[in-house]
Amino acid sequence: MADIVLATFNARYEHCSFGLRCLLASLGELAPRAKILEFNTDLRTAEAAEAVLALEPRILGLGVYVWNARESAMLVAELKRLRPELIIILGGPEVSHETLEQQICRDADFVIKGEGETAFARLCRQVLEGQAPAEKMIAGPAPDLSLLELPYGLYTGEDIAGRVIYAEASRGCPFGCDFCLSSLDKAVRDFPLPKLFAAWEGLLSRGALGFKFVDRTFNLDAVRAASILSFFLERYRPGLFLHFEMVPDRFPEELFELVKKFPAGSLQLEVGVQTFNEAAAARVSRRQDNSAAEKNMLRLRRETAAHLHADLIIGLPGEDLASFAAGFDRLAALGPQEIQVGILKRLRGAPIARHDAEWKMVFSPQPPYELRQNGLLDFFTMQRLRRFARYWDLIANSGVFVETSRLICAGPSPFNNFLALSDWLYQRTGQTHSISRARLRNLLQAYLTEVVKHPATLASGAAERDALNAHRELKGRVRQARRQE
């Protein structure tokens, strides 16, 4: 039983909720009376409601995000029908903006807007003491990070063994990109490093090997970034994996020298390029030195073993198909191991909405609120680009078709080459999901021989090398898993 249940829907099992652990760590004397429940988004509403109600809580704190908005709304509606006396408190970015428009907020008892650690703990005390406030909407103040209890001790052995361990060294972002909710919080606040290092040391001693940092601009403060990289480098052991989101145009020499020391497979850097169109970037208040970003990415690829994951956005106001294609090709020439092609979203509260009228932006009303069309990209073009992004993930980003992808993309325009493949695949299959790797391998060989007119031996040789590399990678993962056991 638990007086307080903290719950959310994660996209997949291996993703565990950092936010719930932060809330639990901050509950103080109420923490023993609280329990975390984590669901996957494919769980049926009735089963989620059963898990909550079986604990007989007085309070449910529910984390609502763009990826689980639908599931969260259904759960709240169900619970309020079954147990109207259950106090439901919502929090998270999805309900922190445009709150009154949402049915889930009308169904809930309270909504905390903003950071929730101190506000949620205070509200729980008030409710449990029978002194619940009259106001429904509660502003969550930005807490003093030096005073917060850190959540790392709440990761379980099961979390450490098979799930992503999330970490953060700072909050906020100094940039004001219209498409990002971080643009609303321009003050960057840092957690004290000594406390972080002690907490991470504890995780490492328990066998944790994979850390994904949620900081929006990890390398903004080069000195702090260097300290954190050095901390993990000094404690490196086989299997360690770190993920950081980096600003691509700010990479001083001291960071390069540290990154060089990490072995292959241990460091992934996510670099948010987003666009090379300087007019479009300025329009959405994005500041980036493209030449510096290119120089740094080339150097990272040539001089380090870091895995580069680069992001591009389709549909920024003022960027047409030709401009996006040129930007994609420019990025591909830098050689990142992954290019994440994302569709522009109108996240609740994000300033991107200010461009709707001028650029005829039409977004889906359903999460994740992706762009459907604008004045330069009509609906059918956006559908082609959405399929392009999906097939690119399946083929180029998967790491399963490395040799085949090189053959497909060879030439002056990898974008146009892959778009042609994307159109052909959809014409042949009529689907972008539920395509087995074996079928996809056969389709790619057929495309290379029948459409591109490559010799069959060249296409089949690439497929065989891809299959061999995939087998080696699988064996490596099995060996790593056994070492962790």
Q: What is the pLDDT of residues 440-451, one digit of tens each?
A: 999 999 999 999
Indicate if the pLDDT at residue 242 is higher than 80: yes
pLDDT confidence band for 413 (50 / 70 / 90) = very high
Residues 149 and 28: their CA atoms lie apart, in Å, by: 9
pLDDT confidence band for 485 (50 / 70 / 90) = very low
136 and 192 in a single domain? The answer is: no
133 and 159 in a single domain? The answer is: no
Write out the residue range of the structural domain in which residue 335 sits.
152-377
pLDDT average, residue stretch 35-53:
97
158 and 134 in a single domain? The answer is: no
Has residue 432 been placed in a domain?
A: no
Count the domains in the chain. 2
Give the list of residues 6+ apart from residue 333 with CB closer than 8 angstroms, or none.
Answer: none
Q: The CATH number of the domain where 190 resides is what?
A: 3.80.30.20
127 and 156 in a single domain? The answer is: no
Has residue 317 been placed in a domain?
A: yes
Residue 415 has a pLDDT of 98
261 and 342 in a single domain? The answer is: yes
pLDDT confidence band for 283 (50 / 70 / 90) = very high
113 and 243 in a single domain? The answer is: no
pLDDT average, residue stretch 241-259:
95
156 and 136 in a single domain? The answer is: no
Has residue 54 been placed in a domain?
A: yes
pLDDT confidence band for 126 (50 / 70 / 90) = very high
Give the list of residues 6+ apart from residue 82 with CB closer than 8 angstroms, or none.
Answer: 49, 53
**Three-state helix/strand/coil letters over 159-214:** HHHHCEEEECCEECCCCCCCCCHHHHCCCCEECCHHHHHHHHHHHHHCCCCEEEEC
Other residues' Cβ atoms within 10 Å of the Cβ of residue 300:
26
pLDDT confidence band for 181 (50 / 70 / 90) = confident
Residue 183 has a pLDDT of 66
- Burial, 92: exposed, middle or buried (Cβ in 10 Å; 0-12, 13-18, 19+)? buried
What's the pLDDT tens digit per position in 46-66?
999 999 999 999 999 999 999
Residue 194 has a pLDDT of 97
Has residue 215 been placed in a domain?
A: yes
Residues 92 and 113: their CA atoms lie apart, in Å, by: 7
Q: Tell me the residue length of the chain.
A: 485
Residues 482 and 485: their CA atoms lie apart, in Å, by: 5
Residues 483 and 480: their CA atoms lie apart, in Å, by: 5
Q: Which of 73, 108, 140 is the last residue of a domain?
A: 140
Has residue 147 been placed in a domain?
A: no
Has residue 472 been placed in a domain?
A: no
pLDDT confidence band for 473 (50 / 70 / 90) = low
Has residue 466 been placed in a domain?
A: no
DSSP string for residues in 240-262: -EEEEEE-TT---HHHHHHHHTS
Indicate if the pLDDT at residue 474 is higher than 90: no
pLDDT average, residue stretch 175-198:
89
Indicate if the pLDDT at residue 431 is higher than 50: yes
Q: Print burial letters for 104-132: b (CB count within 10 Å at least 16), e (below 16).
A: bbebbbbbbbbbbbbbbbbbbeebbeeee
pTM: 0.92
Indicate if the pLDDT at residue 359 is higher than 60: yes
Q: Which of 119, 140, 161 is the last residue of a domain?
A: 140
237 and 357 in a single domain? The answer is: yes
174 and 85 in a single domain? The answer is: no
pLDDT confidence band for 330 (50 / 70 / 90) = very high
CA distances from 381 to 358, 408, 415 (A): 19, 21, 14
pLDDT average, residue stretch 176-199:
89
CA distances from 164 to 14, 198, 243 (A): 6, 19, 10
Comparing 146-150, 185-189, 294-298, 469-473, the range with the smallest average pLDDT is: 469-473
pLDDT confidence band for 478 (50 / 70 / 90) = very low
pLDDT confidence band for 472 (50 / 70 / 90) = low
Q: Which of 358, 377, 396 is the last residue of a domain?
A: 377
Has residue 174 been placed in a domain?
A: yes
Q: The CATH number of the domain where 120 resides is what?
A: 3.40.50.280
253 and 332 in a single domain? The answer is: yes
196 and 123 in a single domain? The answer is: no
In this structure, are strands 4-10 and 87-91 parallel, antiparallel, or unpaired?
unpaired
Give the list of residues 6+ apart from residue 232 with CB closer than 8 angstroms, or none.
Answer: 200, 211, 240, 242
Other residues' Cβ atoms within 10 Å of the Cβ of residue 303:
12
Residue 483 has a pLDDT of 40
Angle at which helices 414-429 and 379-392 pack, to 10 degrees? 100
295 and 195 in a single domain? The answer is: yes
